[in-house]
Structure 1
Amino acid sequence: MTGKIVAVSQQKGGSGKTTLSAHLAVALQPLGRVAILDVDPQGSLGEWFEKREARLGEEATGLTFRTASGWGAKREARTLARDHDLVVIDTPPKSDLDARYAVEAADLVIIPIQPSPVDLWASEATLTMVERESVPALFVLNRVSARSSSARAVIEAIEKLGRPISEARLGDRVAFASSMGIGSTAMESEPGSKAALEALAIAMDVKRRLDV
């Protein structure tokens, strides 16, 4: 058994990597055994998992959690993939080395991006790593406001780069932050909400691209 590895990577801080990582991991649990790997020294995904474990109990989180750094990220991801169907890696911002090893291990790199030129510029380093390792990448728009007019410009810029962008996107919704704060996800704390449906739609797009 060798599971699929998804790295969520973006060099700009505050892009929503941890929120997307957690929601992908939970939404894709029907695939089988799912592991999450926190490579970010800030440890936000680890804090989320600890709250989840405290609330649900050690045996009921539905996830395996590990941490790693540097070259150990690639090794740990591949080790987890031997007995898990899916491994989701939350990578750090502003750390080319740690992110690079995660990208090297990945079958798919998810690049969360807010609808702003700054986020797009910050994606260049991640795209360089993706191209070097010949790993498929997928942009995912995050924190999209219903009134925002900048999303279309960012989408067009990404399309000009010849890179795929998911038609599903995460809105700027309180449900994401509030659910993460208790070690949950929008699908669990507010099932059927717009936030939950958006996260599920992205997960299904990722599932399709992984061909699982």
Structure 2
Amino acid sequence: MAGKVFTVAQQKGGAGKTTLAAHLAIAWAQLGHSVATVDIDPQGSLTRWHAVRAEATGGKPGFTHVQITGWRTQAEVEKLARSHSIVVIDSPPHAQTEARIAVRAASLVVAPVQPSPMDLWAVHPTIELASQEKRRLLLVLNRVPPRAKIADELVAKVQELANPPAVLLADAQVGNRTAYAGTLMSGLSVTEAARKTVAAAEMQALAEEILRRS
């Protein structure tokens, strides 16, 4: 049986896509899954993190990683899904063809959305792309600040985008916490280096929810 494929997609740069992909990959590996990550973002941030992680772990990162160009994505993902229970694709922003290929390959598309007007507007092309490719989309509120009126209003706007069963909104939210970036700097994740923090609990909850919804 082929593994599940999760494409982390967002047409707006700086939405926290790669950070989310990295932390989720480790959270799923900790749950006992064999995980592979695929980096098709030209920036290669996930690949650089993997290199740091490989050095920090003595060459034992705990998951398979490949960096490829967009046109090879479908074949590579199908190959990885035959030997891994979960494949995570970090897709590129602002690249319609490559993003479409990544979305098409997915069992479920995960789209991080920050509670900001720019992110709210920018997620619409990703929703449309998932619709065109007939893939379900899970919106994940990311970098959510401490409660404030404007944040609450924007979160409500994101909730309005949910249109089950095609577009879902994750119950788990990811807060605006320095631990997410800080642990990645050392090649680790919050569920490893900051296990007893709120950040780790958030990421574990999200990882488990995505599995339930896929």
TM-score (norm 1): 0.94
Alpha-carbon separation, structure 2, partners of 1:115 and 1:91 = 21
| Partner Cα separation in structure 2 for residue 160 and residue 190 of structure 1 | 33
1:22 — aligned with what? Answer: 22
Q: How does 1:24-103 map to 2 (within 5 A)?
A: 24-29=24-29, 30-58=31-59, 60-103=60-103
Deviation at 1:156, TM superposition (A): 2.8
Give me the whole-angstrom Cα distance separating, in 1, the residues matched to 2:154 and 2:132.
23
RMSD across aligned positions (CA): 1.2
> Does the Cα contact within 8 Å between 1:108 and 1:135 map onto a contact in 2?
yes
1:164 CA displacement: 1.6
Q: In 1, Cα distance between the equivalents of 2:32 and 2:139?
A: 22
Give the corresponding residue for 1:143. 143
Among 188, 193, 199, the alignment partner of 2:197 is: 193
Aligned counterpart, 1:175:
179
Partners of 1:36 and 1:64 within 8 A in 2: yes
Deviation track 1:34-61 (CA, whole Å, cap 9, x = no partner) reads: 0000010100000110010001022x21
Q: Whole-Å Cα distance in 2 between the matches of residues 148 and 76 of structure 1?
A: 44
Equivalent position SS for 1:37? strand
Q: Are residue 202 (structure 1) and residue 206 (structure 2) matched?
A: yes
The runs of 4+ residues in structure 1 deviating greater than 3 Å are none
- Structure 1 residues 188 and 96: alpha-carbon distance in aligned structure 2, compared to 1, 3 A threshold: same
Contact in 2 for aligned 1:35/1:86 (Cα 8 Å): yes
Q: What count of residue pairs does the alignment treat as equivalent? A: 209
Output the CA distance in 1 between the equivalents of 2:64 and 2:21: 13
Alignment partners' CA distance in 1, 2:82 and 2:109: 19
Partner of 1:126: 126
* Deviation, structure 1 residue 10: 0.2
Code of the residue aligned with 1:35 in structure 2: it is: A
Structure 1: state its 5+ residue gaps. none
How far the C-alpha of 1:31 sits from its partner, in A, is 4.2
Note closer, same or farther for the CA distance 1:204–1:150 as it changes in structure 2 (3 Å cut): farther
- Deviations 1:60-116 (CA, angstroms, capped at 9, x unpaired): 211100012222112211111011000000111111111110000000000001101
Q: Aligned with 1:123: secondary structure?
A: helix
